[in-house]
Amino acid sequence: METYNSFKITQQQLREAAKVLNLDQSTIDLLSWPQKEFKYTLPVKMDDGKIKIFHAYRIQYNHARGPAKGGIRFHPEETVDTIRALAAWMTWKTAVVDLPLGGGKGGIKCNPKEMSKRELENLSREYIRAIATHIGIDRDIPAPDVYTNPQTMAWMMDEYETLTNKHQPGVFTDKPEQVGGTEGRRDATARGGVITVREACKTYGYDPTKDYAIQGFGNAGQRAALLHQEILGGGNLIAVSDSKAAIFNKNGFDAKELVKYKLTTGSVYNFPGGESIDHNDLLELKVEVLYPAALENAITKENAGKIKAKVICELANGPTTPEADIILQEKGIHLIPDILASAGGVTVSYFEVVQDSYSYFWSEEQVHQRLDQKLTKAYHSVQEAINDKKVHPRLGAMVVGVARVAQACKLRGWV
C-alpha cells in the first residue's frame, strides 16, 4: 500500500487553494512552511531510576491572525512532517471558523501505553520546561491531542505557572474545570461535527435518522455516537471500530451501552451482538453518514471508489487524501472536511481562553449555543465558496481559510 506524507498533502491542498484564489508566489511560499519550528531532546527519569531520552517538537505554523493554537500528541510514530501537517491544518481550521488564532502543534515520540502515570507526568513537565519560553497566551496556546488529556494539561499548566510564577491558566486549554477548564469542552469536537452534519442534511436533503457508522471510537467517536441521535433526532449506529476491533450489526447498536462497554473494557471487541468485520470494510458500508474519527489517510484512491456513504464527516485530522477527494466528489458524496467538521474542539478551546482571561465562566448551555452559531455560520461560508468557485468541499474550506490567513499576512506587510 502506498505511504502518504501528510505534510506534502497539506502543501498540495494549499497550492490548489492558492490557484483558485490567484495568490502571488511569495504568499504561497510563505504559507507553504511553518514560521517557527522547535526540536527538543528531553531526558526523563523513569520509575526504574534510569534516564530515558525522548524526542519532542513544537511547531508554530502561522501567527498572522493570532497566537498559535494546537494540540500536543504523545505517539510512538510521531514525525516532524506529521506535526507540520497538523499545525498547517490548525491554521486553516481556526481561520475557517473565524477565530483570532493561528495554528500550531506539538508532539513527543513515546509510547504512553508502556508508561506509568508518574512517568507521563515527568515527561509532561520536562516538555514544558523545554518549550516554556516559546508559549504563552499571546504566543502559543497548547491543548491535548492523541494520547494526552485534561490531566496532561493540568500538569503542564502547573509546570508553566511554576516557571513563570504567574497564574495564567489560559495558556493551556481543555483543562479540568476545577483549574480553569470550560463547560462543554469534552464533547465539543463531536458536537461541532454533528452540527455540520445537521446543516448538510438540511442543505442536501439527506436523512440523518438512517444508518451511520463511526471509524475510530475514541473520545470524538464515542461522543459522535451519542450526539448524532441527540442532535439529529435519531439514527441507527450499525458499525464502529477502534484500534483492536471493528464490529457490525445491521439492526444497530445501543450507543449508550456501546460507549459504556468501551470505557469499561478499553475496546469494542466482543461487544454483545456485534459481528466482527474488517476495519477497511467498515468504511465501505452503505450508510447515510460516515464519521472517520481515527488517524490520517484512511480514505485513499484505493478505497474511495467503494465508499457508499452519502455524507462523510471528518472528525479526524486528514483522513482523506487529495486523490480520494476527487473520487468522492465524482461519486456525489458530500464530504465535510476536517478543517470544518472537527473545528468544534478549537472553537470551545478559544471560548476557554476568553473565559480564563477575565475569570468569568459561561454555562454549558451558553457554550453549546455559541458553538452552534460559529459552526453553522462556518458551514455556510464554506458552502458559498463551493458554489461560487465550483470546487469540491475540501477545496472550498481551504479557499475560505487560506484567503483569511493570506489577507492577514498582506495587511501586516509580510508579503
Query: Do 101 and 94 contact (CB within 8 A), yes or no?
Result: yes
Catalytic, out of 105, 262, 310, 374: 105
Whole-Å CA distances, 235 to 30, 96, 210: 44, 28, 5
236: left (phi over 0), alpha (psi -120 to 50) or beta: beta
Residue 120: all three cell numbers together: 507521563
Kindly report the number of other CB atoms within 10 A of residue 338's CB atom.
24
Alpha-helical runs (H) found in 176-266: 188-204, 219-232, 255-265
Alpha-carbon span 298 to 290, nearest angstrom: 12
User: 105 catalytic, yes or no?
Assistant: yes
Residue 411: burial class (beta carbons within 10 Å; 0-12, 13-18, 19+): exposed
User: Which strands sit side by side in the sheet containing 236-241, from one edge to the other?
Assistant: 275-276, 246-248, 236-241, 211-215, 289-292, 311-313, 334-336
Whole-Å CA distances, 125 to 98, 151, 161, 223, 407: 32, 12, 11, 29, 37
Residues with catalytic roles: 105
